[in-house]
Amino acid sequence: MTVSSITKTEDGIFRWVYEVNLYKNPSIIILVGKVLAISLGIVLLFLVALLAIEGDLSLEELGNLLLVFGGIAAVLFVISIIGYLVYAAVMGGRYCVLFEMDEEGITHTQLASQVKKAKVLAVLVALAGVAAGRPSVSGSGILAGSRFSKRSRWRSVKTVEPLPTRNLINVGEKLHQNQIYVEQEDFDFVLGFIRDHVAAAQTGRTQKRAPKKPS
């Protein structure tokens, strides 16, 4: 039987930590690529529309425009790959994230690169024990060293995209996307929790009872 890595404190918050291997998991670089592609696509469409309005749009002009944008895209792609590899090296090849999930939403918190997964897990176990809801000194230090935090509220979520082969659940809102990483043994539980609470929030129903955490 597989043991769950998720802990639940007395305040009803599910917490877990996940380490993303930046050299093996392509999720971040794919997200960067999508952003670049959308940005270039918008600019290209704007220029095409402008040329069409002015009556200067021809197959030759369109071909030249596509050629220029193709070159720009290639250069930006190379720069992005180099930048990503530098970022991965600075982070020590890993991206350590703390997730906190409750009845209202889910929070994704990037931890400082020097924080070890084992240390965070120890703090989570302590939080789920007798001293639940009262972080220890080490727990406070870990959270104080966090670099980035993103909160997604269930009522604001528009899309939920599971990618089990990457241990990833994309939670999409209007203007941004929250990447939720979870171990394979807990994937179905977290996905079910998110879907149930998003559906409940969007239909105006209050979730009376959270699903049981897998053992």
16 and 114 part of one domain: yes
For residues 54-60, average pLDDT: 79
Band of residue 213 on the pLDDT scale cut at 50, 70, 90: low
Backbone angles phi, psi at 152, to 5 degrees: -115, 120
pTM: 0.65
Q: How many CA atoms lie within 13 A of 80 on its CB side?
A: 17
Q: So what's the pLDDT on residue 184?
A: 93
The total domain count for the chain is 2
pLDDT of 13 higher than 80: yes
Q: Give the residue with greater pLDDT, 128 vs 137.
A: 128
What domain range includes position 183? 7-22+93-202
Distances in Å between the Cα of 35 and the Cα atoms of 32, 58, 80, 116, 177 are: 5, 28, 11, 30, 11
102 and 183 part of one domain: yes
Q: So what's the pLDDT on residue 116?
A: 54
CATH number for the domain spanning 179: value is 2.30.29.30
2 belongs to a structural domain: no
pLDDT in tens, 20-35: 888 888 887 887 888 8
Query: Which stretch of 12-21, 83-92, 168-177, 182-191 has the lowest confidence by average pLDDT?
Result: 83-92
Distance from C-alpha of 104 to C-alpha of 201, rounded to nearest angstrom: 9
pLDDT in tens, 59-72: 888 888 889 988 98
111 and 11 part of one domain: yes
With tokens 């990503």, the residue in question is 84
